[in-house]
Amino acid sequence: MIALLAVGILILAGVLIAVGRGAWKKKGGRKKDRNTLVREANKALAQNPKDANALNVLADVYFQDQEWEKAARTYALLNDLVATNPELDEHTILLRHGLAALRIGDQAAAYKSLMLARKDHENLFEINFNLGQLEFKRKNYERAVNLLRAANEERPDHVQTAKYLGQSFFRIKRIRESVALLRKVAEAEPDDKESVFFLGQAYFESGQSEQAQRIFGHLRADPVYGPRASLMAGSLHMKARLYDEAEMDFKIGLKHENLPPEIMLEIKYRLAATLTRKQQLEDALGVLQEIARVNPNYKDVSAQLARSRELAGNKNLQTYLMAATSEFVGLCRRISINYFPRSKAKVLDISVGRSDHVDILAEVHTAKWEDVVLFRFVRSSSAVGELVLRDLHSRIKEVHAGRGLCICAGTYSEGAIAFVEARLIDLISKEELVKLLKRI
């Protein structure tokens, strides 16, 4: 009997609360209009600034009318009254305050309210999506993935969830999941250039160069993503040794207005490298000088300038370092035949290595001696290390040569020099190579 009485009291209390709140919205059986609700609520608040029913009505009106600043402020006041007004719906207040705060850019307040609203409502899409978006913007990508994945399970058709989840997967290097989601976003919203660009990057990271190239090529003209897309497209073409296409990509990137300085410098740096590979050294030199005027310490621009000036004045050195393999081999053959003064040399074998070097085995006759000599021409202007010399030494023994020579357009490391001290291998560096080239 006592239990039934208690239940009856609870039901009656609920009815009275509902009637009290409904009184704000109806009069004479008719629904009140917005202005009447606002006027009566403000009148009640003038008498009692903490009137929970009046604040609730105002908050609902502002939220429905998308007056986000007023809604956020009013729901914040309501949240302070929850502890002393059990009839207030705390979850709805927190959720709506979080959403309104998010709309006005108050991310800290939005995050706090949505986190509290998520308690006992962990599967609610609206909370998981918005919290996941906030975690993404805070660069908490692991947390964003957990929240957005839950939202995606509830609404797999929601494109914005797929967008932020795909980008979050990309950030934490889960590329396969990223590609699947971002491709879905790109198909649903092809004008979402941000997601399309991220898809291109995901393709690039996963080794799908053709798909990446197609996307970056399409985005080159975009005013926002065009510069970075041009840089990526050109870099992919460079890697494929398609230098004409790479040059075009980089030049399209440089046409954009308001280029970020770091993007501009990198595009010019790679354009100079492309022009150098095309043996357009004067043009490459001009681009390097432009970089040096902006930032003389950018990467190895100073060294590249010196190298380009040297190559521009030495056609044979250009051929040695940059010409087609057939021209390089022809030049090396002439060097090996004419290396020893007043001698006769017969080439026995030519072997082109995959690491940009060529070995020429020659039988050399002079007035005082004759021997089989193995020449190794290394196509590099950097320091040659010990491993190259060890490999050359093995080749000398393999072909039964009496001695060996290593010729490069750079220098030799300390380890390389130490390795040949007790062996019949002579090291020819750039200075001696330049003299040889002049002589032949």
Alpha carbons within 13 A on the beta-carbon side of 120: 4
- Average pLDDT for the chain: 90
User: What's the topology of domain 325-439?
Assistant: Trna Endonuclease; Chain: A, domain 1 (3.40.1350)
The yes-or-no verdict on residue 35 having pLDDT over 90 is no
Among 1.20.140.10, 3.20.20.150, 1.25.40.10, 3.40.50.920, name the CATH number for the domain at 16-121. 1.25.40.10
Q: Where are the domains of the chain?
A: 16-121, 325-439
Q: Cβ(337)–Cβ(330) under 8 Å?
A: no
Residue 361 per-residue DSSP state: E
pLDDT bracket for residue 255 (50, 70, 90): very high
pLDDT bracket for residue 355 (50, 70, 90): low
Q: Cβ(433)–Cβ(361) under 8 Å?
A: no
pLDDT tens digit string along 207-251? 999 999 999 999 999 999 999 999 999 999 999 999 999 999 999
What sections of 297-400 are H helices per DSSP? 301-312, 315-322, 325-338, 386-398
Least confident of 11-15, 224-228, 422-426: 11-15
Higher per-residue confidence, 433 vs 7:
433
pLDDT mean over 142-165 = 96
List b or e across 339-349, with b for residues whose CB sees 16 or more CB atoms inside 10 angstroms: bbeebebeeee
Distance separating alpha carbons of residues 219 and 224, to the nearest angstrom = 9
Q: Cβ(360)–Cβ(370) under 8 Å?
A: no
pTM summary value: 0.71
pLDDT of the residue at 31: 52
DSSP string, 135-186: HHHTT-HHHHHHHHHHHHHH-TT-HHHHHHHHHHHHHTT-HHHHHHHHHHHH
pLDDT tens digit string along 102-153? 999 999 999 999 999 999 899 999 999 999 999 999 999 999 999 999 999 9
